[in-house]
């Protein structure tokens, strides 16, 4: 454990950020899972709606720095491609 006052504060802040980031990551994973489930059921309308919300959540995570912006772009691109493939 840290010994200096500033190091103790930094450790507390890191723990809080870790928990907050974990919650955001879980939200991203769950929305992606829901979208993939809708895509496998071939429900085009539902998948398209979930894609819009997934894009928003992924972009928000990237904005907060939880995931890298290129990682977010890659996830969105792959999900969009998935939804477009079922609409054909």
Range of the domain at 77: 5-87
Q: State the alpha helices, DSSP H only, in 1-88.
A: 5-40, 44-64, 69-87
Per-residue pLDDT of 2-49, as tens digits, reads 789 999 999 999 999 999 999 999 999 999 999 999 999 888 899 999
Task: Give the C-alpha separation, 53 to 82, whole Å.
Answer: 15
Identify the pLDDT of residue 54.
97
Residue whose C-alpha is closest to residue 58's, from 41, 35, 81: 35
The CATH number given to whatever domain includes residue 59 is 1.20.58.110
Q: How many domains does the chain have?
A: 1
């Amino acid at each position: 454990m840290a010994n200096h006052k500033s190091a103790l504060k930094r450790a507390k802040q890191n723990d809080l950020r870790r928990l907050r980031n974990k919650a955001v990551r879980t939200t991203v994973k769950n929305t992606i899972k829901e979208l993939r489930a809708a895509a496998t059921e071939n429900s085009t309308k539902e998948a398209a709606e979930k894609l819009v919300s997934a894009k928003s959540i992924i972009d928000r995570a990237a904005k907060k720095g939880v995931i890298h912006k290129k990682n977010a772009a890659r996830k969105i691109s792959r999900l969009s491609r998935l939804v477009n493939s079922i609409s054909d």
